[in-house]
């Protein structure tokens, strides 16, 4: 059976179709002139000849073992443009005893005596390599200037009149913002992908196909009907969404080879190139979260996601102080209440043998502690920014530049020594070899050692200069970070609570001790500005309440008081309305000798001590407390939160 093989590497519709037909016509005419007929055709339209993994060609080679005896092609370039592979293919035809006829190159495998075949196939390969080189050079020039027109990612489209202008696609931009919001809220790549698929949100390839179809463009792209982890990860990694155009991210070393990632310093980066969908603070937060989750083996938060109520807001930053494992979020529902708390994962899963205590902390208590800490840090942060002296960093920057210049001078001197050494090596080698050729190895080794030593010194100096440059670039950003932290703190204080975004922006980690007391570490170095101990803070609050009760007794001019009176006054100051909550404080007042029981239920407690004596006792709980300060002023100035009892942290769940 006779077969014809035709190939064209360009898909150019009608012109390609005619070219394929011309090849068939030439082969048919040649076969007819030699008394043969083409029984079967094999075709590869739009496939490069440099690769041999082609559908039509692969089928031809498979059928060669069955019923094909003779194969006709127009010329060697149709078979392929890879010199070595084409020559091996010719040998394979001869070994199989198959007849290959290459019409324009006058080749017949049954009668081959042409010594120029290797030159012809080499020329075909050089042609495609030269073409590839020219294309890469042209693309590289456009990349360097930032004028290369590429397919924009999800969320953008090109202006219909001027393709160089990128515009935001509003609906697609909402999808992008949603993905970033989901990730910050605690979702992982897979959970985000599943959520987008369940919500019927189209994938990037689906949207691109719709766009191309709407523009009446022929699209042969593979369309993904479901979101994948890789799609979500690539989108979150793409700084295109903050207005940065990054070109030459990948490149290939050979024709049709695999793309390899290009180092960032070799890429072409153009900031503020187009409108941003995501602000830089959000983008940097996501990059930080990705690194943090990889480091802590984070697997996403559980529960059903909703826009305003994100489950387990502290899930990514809570750790057991003793065993260093993460804390597991737990939610317990009763008939009328819902309890949310965090507990040591090791204790919860393996028991007391592996971690002795539960390290349990209620979510509302933790929220309260963090808010108080932020309020304290906020004032210290404001003072730090006010006293911040940029001249200090300018001096440091100047010192860094001087060091760079010094190292640069030393490096230039080493390079001059290296050049001189190379000249001396060449001259000395000629001179010494003319006298004693047997010393050639010793001479070479001596110069080689000196040369390698200088090269190592130069390389070390280059690394030092690079590190100094990187450090000098970071210094001016310190005040920006402080201001950003201050803005976040002000927003949190205004809201009176924290959501997942606030926590990820401001909190580095929280270590919970065996008593359920958190050690909070904030970002931006804020934790170094002020020390905070929740246990001490609880004592301070308790002492403040005791002092307020004393002040209320001092302000009671009737010389007697009651639980009802004290309870109502505390309620008016913002405390919970309960009569029983005042009773422990009344018992304490009795122990201190301030109050005394009576037999009159209308006047249950006599005020025994004088105003001056009570004021003196008040200083035992709040030292240096002014005598003239009122109970209301005291509550406004010293008391920020309601009292808290953490019995559960001591005894376990």
| Rounded-to-integer distance, Cα 563 and Cα 586, Å | 8
53 within domain boundaries: yes
Q: Is 302 domain-assigned?
A: no
CB atoms within 10 A of CB 248: 15
* pLDDT at residue 520 is higher than 70: yes
Q: Based on the structure, what is the number of domains in the chain?
A: 4
Structure-token pair, residue 91:
């040998």
Q: Among 521, 508, 528, 549, which Cα is nearest to 643's?
A: 549
With contact defined as beta carbons under 8 Å apart, do 414 and 464 qualify?
no
Amino acid 416: pLDDT: 76
Higher pLDDT residue, 192 or 430? Answer: 192
Q: Please provide residue 371's backbone torsions phi and psi, each rounded to the nearest 5 degrees.
A: -60, -45
Same structural domain for residues 183 and 77? Answer: no
Both 253 and 327 in one domain: the answer is: no
Instruction: Compute CA 640 distance to the chain's CA centroid, rounded to the nearest angstrom.
Output: 37
> Per DSSP, what are the bridge partners of residue 507?
522
Q: How confident is the model at residue 176 (pLDDT cuts 50, 70, 90)?
A: very high
Enclosing H/E stretch for 459: helix 440-474
Highest averaged pLDDT of the listed ranges 3-17, 299-313, 570-584: 570-584
How confident is the model at residue 79, as a pLDDT? Answer: 83
Judgement on whether residues 199 and 258 belong to the same structural domain of the protein: yes
Question: At which of 237, 266, 293 does a domain end?
Answer: 293
- Evaluate if residue 524 carries a pLDDT over 70: no
Angle between helices 563-572 and 534-555 (to 10 degrees): 120
Mean pLDDT over the full length of the chain = 76
Structure-model confidence comparison of residues 130 and 361, the more confident one: 361
pLDDT tens digits for 77-136? 888 887 788 888 888 888 888 888 888 888 888 776 666 677 777 766 776 666 666 666
Helix (H, G, I), strand (E, B) or coil at 249: coil
Is residue 501 within a helix (H) or strand (E), and if so which, with residue range? helix 500-506
Residues 503 and 590 in one domain: no
Name residues whose C-beta falls within 8 Å of residue 362's C-beta, 6 or more positions apart in sequence: 339, 340, 341, 516, 646, 648
Please name which of 532, 513, 510 lies closest in space to residue 521, comparing C-alpha atoms: 510
Q: Using only C-alpha atoms, what is the Rg of the chain? A: 40
Residue 288 banded pLDDT, cuts 50, 70, 90: confident
* Whether residue 185 is found in the same domain as residue 285: yes
Is the pTM for the entire model greater than 0.85?
no
Q: Residue 605 has what pLDDT?
A: 93
Q: Please indicate, yes or no, whether residues 27 and 162 belong to a single structural domain of this protein.
A: no
How far, in Å, CA of 610 to CA of 600, rounded? 21
Residue 633's domain spans which residues? 534-651
In a domain, 263, yes or no: yes
| pLDDT for 84 | 80
The answer to whether residues 121 and 263 belong to one domain is no
Digit-coded pLDDT (tens) for 586-623 = 889 999 999 999 999 889 999 999 988 998 898 888 88
Coil, helix or strand at residue 573: coil
Do residues 561 and 528 both lie within one domain?
no
Shared domain for 61 and 195, answered yes or no, is no
Longest dimension (CA), the chain: 135
């Amino acid at each position: 059976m006779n077969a014809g093989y035709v190939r064209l590497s360009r898909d150019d519709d009608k012109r390609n179709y005619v070219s394929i037909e011309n090849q068939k016509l030439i082969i048919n005419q040649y076969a007819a002139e030699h008394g043969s007929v083409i029984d079967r055709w094999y075709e590869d339209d739009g496939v490069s000849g440099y690769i041999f993994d082609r559908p039509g060609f692969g089928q031809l080679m498979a059928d060669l073992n069955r019923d094909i005896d003779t194969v006709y092609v127009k010329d060697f370039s149709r078979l392929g443009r890879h010199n070595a592979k084409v020559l091996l293919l010719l040998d394979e035809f001869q070994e199989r005893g198959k007849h290959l006829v290459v019409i324009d190159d006058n080749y017949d495998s049954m009668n081959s005596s042409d010594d120029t075949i290797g030159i012809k196939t080499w020329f075909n390969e050089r042609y495609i390599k030269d073409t590839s080189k020219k294309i890469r050079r042209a693309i590289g020039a456009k990349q360097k200037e930032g004028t290369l027109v590429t397919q924009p990612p999800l969320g953008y489209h090109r202006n219909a009149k001027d393709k160089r202008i990128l515009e935001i696609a509003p609906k697609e931009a909402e999808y992008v913002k949603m993905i970033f919001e989901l990730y910050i809220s605690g979702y992982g790549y897979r959970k985000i992908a599943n959520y987008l698929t369940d919500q019927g949100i189209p994938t990037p390839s689906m949207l691109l196909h719709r766009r191309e179809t709407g523009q009446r463009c022929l699209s042969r792209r593979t369309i993904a009907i479901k979101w994948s982890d890789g799609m979500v990860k690539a989108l979150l990694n793409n700084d295109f969404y903050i207005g940065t155009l990054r070109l030459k991210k990948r490149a290939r070393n050979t024709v049709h080879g695999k793309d390899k990632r290009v180092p960032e310093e070799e890429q072409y980066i153009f900031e503020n190139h187009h409108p941003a969908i995501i602000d830089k603070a959000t983008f940097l937060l996501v990059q930080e979260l990705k690194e943090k989750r990889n480091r802590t083996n984070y697997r996403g938060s559980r529960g059903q996601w909703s826009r305003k109520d994100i489950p387990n807001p502290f899930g990514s930053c809570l750790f057991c102080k003793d065993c260093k494992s993460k804390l597991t979020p737990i939610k317990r529902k009763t008939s009328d209440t819902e309890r949310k708390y965090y507990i040591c994962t090791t204790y919860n899963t393996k028991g007391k043998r592996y971690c002795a205590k539960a390290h349990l902390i209620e979510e509302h208590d933790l929220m309260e502690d963090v808010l108080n800490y932020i309020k304290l840090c906020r004032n210290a942060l404001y003072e730090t920014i006010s006293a911040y002296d940029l001249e200090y960093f300018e001096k440091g920057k100047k010192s860094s530049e001087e060091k760079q210049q010094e190292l640069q001078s030393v490096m230039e001197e080493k390079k001059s020594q290296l050049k001189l050494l190379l000249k001396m090596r060449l001259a000395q080698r000629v001179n010494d070899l003319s006298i004693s050729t047997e010393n050639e190895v010793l001479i070479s080794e001596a110069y080689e050692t000196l040369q390698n030593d200088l090269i190592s010194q130069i390389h070390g100096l280059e690394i030092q200069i690079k590190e100094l440059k990187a450090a000098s670039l970071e210094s001016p950003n310190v005040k920006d970070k402080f201001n950003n932290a201050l803005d976040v703190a002000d927003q949190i204080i205004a809201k009176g609570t924290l959501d997942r975004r606030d926590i990820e922006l401001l909190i580095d980690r929280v270590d919970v001790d065996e008593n359920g007391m958190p050690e909070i570490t904030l970002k931006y170095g804020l934790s170094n500005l002020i020390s905070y101990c929740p246990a001490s803070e609880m004592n301070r609050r308790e002492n403040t309440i005791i002092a307020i009760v004393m002040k209320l007794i001092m302000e009671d001019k009737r010389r007697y008081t009651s639980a009802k009176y004290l309870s109502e006054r505390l309620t008016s100051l913002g405390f919970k309305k309960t009569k029983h909550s005042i009773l422990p404080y009344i018992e304490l007042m009795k122990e201190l000798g301030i109050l005394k029981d009576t037999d009159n239920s209308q006047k249950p407690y006599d005020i025994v001590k004088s105003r001056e004596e009570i004021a003196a006792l008040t200083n035992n709980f709040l030292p240096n407390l002014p005598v003239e300060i009122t109970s209301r002023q005291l509550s406004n100035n010293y008391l920020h939160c309601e009292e808290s009892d953490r019995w559960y942290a001591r005894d376990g769940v």
